[in-house]
Structure formats: C-alpha cells, structure tokens
C-alpha cells in the first residue's frame, strides 16, 4: 500500500499500531527497492566541507588540477555556507573556524574573489574568531603547504617514530587505527616541509595582533606546553644525519604502501588517502606510479554529483554497515528470513569478511582474522561494531547453505572474543588502546580521541551478538555486562561514541542488557527508562544535538529526528514499555512524518567519527532505524 499526501491525516488518526503496520510495509517496500543488484545497500555518507577542500588542496599540490572538478567542488562548498559567512561541522550548527578557513581557501582556488559578498562575510567572521592563528592544527598544516603559515610554528612529527618498539610510549600503535595512517603520512610531510606558493594571499583571514593574541592563547595552551619539547626535537632533527632521516621516511612510505587497500585507498576513506598520497608524492612517487594511480581511481570513486556541475566528496562508503542494518531492520519488519533479497545480501556480506591479519595483531598476534569492516574494501581495519551487526544479520537469514553462514559466524565470534579488553569492554578497532599520552600531544585536534578505548555502544553490540548466539551466560559476556552497568551515567543514560550521543548509547545498551538476561525491572534499566521519558520532546520524538559532546546539559536535548527517536524507542521497547504513553507518542511521531516514498527526512548529523571534531550524516539512518523500531513495536503489539 502506498499512502499519498491526501490521506496523511487519516494515518495520523489511526491507532498507533495500525499506523505503524502501514509505515512498516511502506518502508519495507522502499528499502527492498533500493538494494543494489549485487545484494548490498549504501546511501550517501556526508561530513563537513573540509574534506572537499582537502581534495582540492591535494590536486593543487600535486599539479593534478581539473578545472571542471574545481568549479564543481566550489559550487558544493559555496552551497553549504551559513548566513554569518562561516561553515559548520554539522547541519545547522555553529561555525567552525578550521573548516571555515579551509572552505574559504578552497573557494579562492575555485576563483572566488575576496571582495565578493560571501567571501567578505567569511573573512570578517574568521577575524572575529581570532583569525588563522586561532585555527585548529589541520587547517594550519594545509596553509603551511601554500606558504601562508610557517612550518616552524607547527609541531614536529618525527618520522623516527616508526622505529619505536610497540612497548614504547607513543609508538604508532599507541594511536588509534583511525589516526595511525595519518600520523605516519604527516611524519613524512613534516620531514619534507613542502611549500608550493599559491598565486594569491589570504591576509584578510589574519586578525589584528591584539585580537589574535588572546584567542590563540586560549586555543594553543596544549601546544605551548609542548613548545620547549618541540624546539628541542626540531633541533635534534636538524643535526640528524641525512641518511638516517631518509631511512626513517622510507620506512614510513613502506608502512603506508603495505597498508594500501585493493581499491587504492588507505583505510577506505578519503582523509587518510589524501594524506598518504601527499606523503608518497613527497617521497618521489610520480602520479602515474601504480600506487598513486590506484589512489586516484579511489578518489574518483568517491565523487558524488548531487546535481549537474556540483561535486561532493564522499569521505567514506558504508556498504557493510548499511547492508547489515538493512537486513536486521527487514527482519524486524517481519520479512521472511528466506526472502531472496536477504539471501543475496548475506551472500555479499560473506565475501567481505576479513581474511588477513590487520594492525590489531600487534596486540593479539595469535588471533585469527574473522571480522568485518565498514566499507567495500578494507581488510586491514575490521571493527567490532560492523562484525557484531553482520553476525546478527547472518544468523537471522535462512540461507540455503547454512554451513557457509556457520563457518563465517564461528570465525567472527572467535575474533570478537579475542578482541575483548582487559576491563571487559570492547573498542571499535583495537584492544586495550587506552594510553593517555597521544591525546596530550599537539599532533592532531582530537585530544583523547587519538586512542580507541572500550565504549558502551560497541560493547553493547558485541554483547547483543553473543546473546543471540546463545552465549549470554558465557564468562566473557557476563564480564561485559558488568562493565556496561558500571558505565551508566548518573542520569541513567549511556554515552554514545559513534552516534549522537546519549540517545545512541542508551539505545544500544538497553537492548543488549535485556538480551543478555538483565531483568527489565533491574535498577539500571528502570533508570534508563526514566531518563528517556524525561528528555522526550513535547512533539513525541527525541533528539540530541552535537553540542552535547561539549555541554553535558545538552544530553538528550535537541530537535526530534527520526534516527534518534528510533534509538529511544528501541531502548524503551527492550525495557518492556511497549504500552507506555512515551512509546505510543514516539511511534506516532514517526508514522506521522513518514514521507510518501516510505522514508524520513533527516538533514541532521546523528553519526560521529570523532566526538566534537568530525560528525557524519548517514543517509541510511533515517530508513533502517525507524523500520527497526516500528517493526519491533508492531511485533510487541501482536499486530
């Protein structure tokens, strides 16, 4: 059945369970229609425009400028500018200084002039924030490559870091897998200190000395703490024999080449790939070298053209994540477990399982591979989040060759158990990657997120997966449950590392706890329910904005969104609240806002790569999570 705009009022007047049934049917049809012929699902993955700027900068530095691409990228960046002249990290968010500076420079390369209105507004906003001197480190690194900032005023990243043994503090494996390739690439870039002067200046982005001094003082405290160490390190590098320096940078290059994926990327994402390409170029690799040719092909595959002559960079593709979530949502919706679409999706997932050791073997050298990564081609960095959801999906499908499913699942469970941290929790990519030192160095703008400690959301997904395998009483599962209970906030919520924020964490943890046998009447579950009810919006939905990562008072607060409303409903339904007023109101909010196509409109960024620094908009979240929640609601009603 397809509901049109003319009968929307009728849907709103229906009982929640009737409207939910109708919405589930429509979204099921919508989702099935969007499956790729090979079996996977994938929707756009959007971040801020700084990564579009990085792509433009790379082309300028490597002399690979395509006028059509530059113009089209400029149109996209220009379209995302806020009214005050800035660019935000998230939809409808506050301006971000580093992103804004990079967007401005990218538009200058696209031909925009400083006296144009949108550029004047931008430059004025930047100066008000303290100018270039107050910007985040990444922006100033790029500016140094064009001669607008001094390399002497940037932290040194010695390539000799490659020589540190794995037991040494600040060896490359003490950084998270998300930061590691960038760290190695930046060590090479820092050693070469490239400068390719641009044909224009950006003096208009520098604040007056008085204005910039105060802001830079606040922004650069951590860098000043390490200024003395940085000076000493630079001095030691200057007297290091050239052969030693060359050996160190070559070691970095070898490390990068060994980790290039079959699609030509590093980490199957454009930010890592751009840094690695620049590092290898500086090491003497020409653009037609097979390594860089493959990387250029990958960047071309990350092009997205939402309109004619408008080009947006997809920072990452998410087919594994989108596909396993789609399977689980369709199963929640009541689709037959042997439906051809689900079997085809399972077949595709089976081809994506990691079959080779990755960086995780540094801490688990004897552990056989068995996980899944997020992207099409990323066998080096599988993660526990994708692995858990894939196993849940595969176990729900009635596959005609169950032995293939069983073999893959056994490998995944073994790998997951082997990746449990010593405290009982699970991280995304690594195990016991918890050093506090990397976050204190001024190498990145990410602070404590330079490492990969256990998180409640990832641990919850692993627990839910183990419970689905009948392992809820397994000692490792019980340890993880105890860890999750200890992580609960005093408010009753859980912090969300990979989704915004406490709504995501709580939406992950409560279903996992109840699946693992924690009674619905348990104090932790009841406190979570109380918190969710207390932050429900007056319109019946739930929302939490990005600012909650900086302001704890914003936890669970923000305009209602489809994905976040679904997360709250998933937790409440798992807690046995299917007949509560809060659940009925949340269900009504979703059913009343379903589009004619069977999806939901969600421009907000509810995904996270680095809290407070890199947000993400998953195009698939506004489909799969509402379908999961409504499907489970319908099932709970026996409707």
Q: What share of the chain is helix, strand, coil (3-state, %, to 5)?
A: 55, 5, 40
> Rounded to an integer, what distance in angstroms lies between the CA atom of residue 555 and that of residue 493?
9
Tokens of 600: 């939901």
Within 8 A by CB and 6+ apart from 51, the residues are: 270, 271, 274, 313, 315
Within 8 A by CB and 6+ apart from 478, the residues are: none
Tokens of 62: 């490597």
> Which one is catalytic: 55, 332, 385, 386?
385
Residue 318 DSSP symbol: -
Q: Is 310 exposed, middle or buried (0-12, 13-18, 19+ CB in 10 A)?
A: middle
Q: Are 265 and 298 in contact (CB under 8 A)?
A: yes
Q: What is the number of other CB atoms lying within 10 angstroms of the CB of residue 385? A: 28
Q: Quick one: which H or E segment has residue 609? A: strand 607-610
Structural Rg of the chain based on CA atoms: 25
Asked if 385 is an active-site residue, the reply is yes
Tokens of 66: 């395509």
> Rounded to an integer, what distance in angstroms lies between the CA atom of residue 117 and that of residue 279?
36
Q: Is 264 exposed, middle or buried (0-12, 13-18, 19+ CB in 10 A)?
A: buried
Tokens of 413: 């469970």
Strands (E), 248-377: 303-307, 310-313
Residue 434 DSSP symbol: -
> Rounded to an integer, what distance in angstroms lies between the CA atom of residue 327 and that of residue 392?
9
Our measurement of the distance from residue 73's CA atom to the centroid of its chain's CA atoms, rounded to an integer in Å, reads 22
CA separation, residue 458 to residues 75, 525, 616 (Å): 37, 18, 17
Our measurement of the distance from residue 556's CA atom to the centroid of its chain's CA atoms, rounded to an integer in Å, reads 20
> Rounded to an integer, what distance in angstroms lies between the CA atom of residue 416 and that of residue 420?
7
Q: Specify which residues 45 forms β-bridges with.
A: 618
Sign of CA dihedral 394, 396, 401, 403: positive
Strands (E), 34-157: 45-46
Of residues 16, 26, 20, the one with CA closest to residue 629 = 20
Sign of CA dihedral 55, 61, 66, 67: positive
Strand order in the sheet with 607-610: 45-46, 614-618, 607-610
Following DSSP, what letter does each residue of 439-456 receive, concatenated? GGSTTSS-GGGGSB---H
Of residues 24, 21, 17, 19, the one with CA closest to residue 9 = 19
Write out the catalytic residue numbers.
Answer: 385
């Amino acid at each position: 059945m397809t509901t049109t705009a003319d009968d929307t009022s009728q849907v709103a007047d229906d009982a929640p369970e009737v409207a939910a049934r109708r919405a589930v049917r429509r979204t099921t049809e919508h989702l099935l229609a969007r499956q790729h012929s090979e079996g996977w699902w994938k929707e756009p993955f959007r971040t801020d425009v700084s990564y579009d700027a990085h792509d433009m900068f790379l082309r300028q530095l490597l002399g690979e400028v395509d006028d059509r691409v530059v113009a089209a990228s400029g149109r996209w960046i220009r379209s995302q500018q806020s009214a005050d002249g800035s660019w935000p990290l998230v939809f409808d968010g506050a301006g971000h200084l580093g992103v804004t500076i990079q967007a401005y420079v990218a538009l200058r390369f696209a031909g925009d002039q400083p006296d144009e209105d949108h550029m004047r507004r931008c430059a004025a906003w930047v100066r008000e924030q303290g100018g270039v001197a107050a910007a985040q480190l990444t922006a100033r690194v790029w500016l140094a490559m064009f001669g607008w900032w001094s390399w002497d005023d940037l932290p040194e990243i010695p390539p000799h870091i490659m020589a540190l043994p794995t037991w040494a503090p600040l060896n490359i494996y003490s950084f998270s897998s998300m930061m590691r390739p960038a760290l190695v690439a930046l060590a090479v870039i820092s050693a070469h200190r490239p400068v390719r002067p641009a044909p224009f200046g950006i003096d208009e982005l520098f604040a007056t000395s008085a204005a910039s001094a105060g802001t830079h003082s606040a922004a650069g405290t951590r860098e000043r703490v390490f200024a003395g160490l940085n000076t000493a390190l630079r001095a030691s590098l200057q007297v290091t024999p050239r052969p030693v320096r060359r050996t160190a940078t070559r070691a970095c290059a070898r490390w990068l080449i060994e980790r290039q994926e079959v699609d030509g990327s590093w980490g199957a994402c454009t930010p890592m790939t751009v840094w690695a390409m620049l590092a290898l170029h500086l090491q003497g690799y020409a653009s037609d070298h097979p390594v860089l040719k493959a990387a250029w092909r990958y960047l071309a595959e990350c092009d997205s053209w939402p309109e004619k002559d408008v080009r947006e960079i997809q920072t990452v593709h998410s087919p594994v994540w989108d596909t396993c979530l789609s399977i689980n949502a369709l199963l929640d919706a009541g689709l037959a477990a042997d439906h051809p679409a689900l079997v085809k999706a399972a077949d595709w997932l089976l081809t994506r399982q990691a079959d080779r050791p990755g960086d995780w073997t540094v801490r688990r050298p004897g552990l056989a591979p068995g996980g899944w990564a997020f992207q099409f081609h990323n066998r080096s960095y599988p993660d526990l989040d994708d692995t858990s959801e894939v196993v849940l999906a595969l176990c729900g499908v009635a596959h005609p060759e169950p032995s293939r499913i069983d073999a893959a699942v056994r490998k995944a469970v073994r790998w997951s158990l082997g990746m449990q941290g010593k405290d009982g929790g699970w991280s995304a990519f690594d195990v016991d990657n918890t050093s506090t030192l990397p976050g204190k160095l001024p190498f990145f703008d990410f602070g404590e997120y330079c490492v990969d400690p256990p998180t409640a959301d990832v641990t919850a997904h692993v627990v839910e997966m183990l419970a689905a395998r009948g392992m809820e009483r397994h000692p490792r599962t019980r340890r993880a449950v105890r860890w999750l209970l200890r992580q609960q906030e005093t408010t009753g919520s859980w912090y969300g590392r990979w989704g915004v924020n406490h709504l995501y964490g709580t939406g992950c943890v409560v279903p996992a706890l109840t699946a693992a046998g924690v009674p619905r009447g348990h104090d932790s579950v009841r406190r979570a329910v109380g918190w969710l009810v207390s932050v429900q919006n007056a319109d019946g939905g739930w929302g939490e904005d990005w600012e909650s990562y900086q302001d704890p008072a914003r936890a669970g607060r923000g305009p209602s969104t489809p994905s976040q409303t679904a997360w709250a409903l998933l937790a409440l339904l798992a807690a046995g609240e299917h007949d509560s007023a809060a659940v009925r109101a949340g269900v009504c909010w979703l059913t009343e806002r379903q589009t004619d196509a069977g999806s939901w409109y969600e421009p907000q960024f509810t995904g996270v790569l680095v809290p407070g620094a890199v947000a993400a908009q998953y195009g698939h979240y506004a489909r799969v999570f509402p379908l999961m929640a409504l499907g489970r609601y319908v099932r709970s009603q026996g409707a």
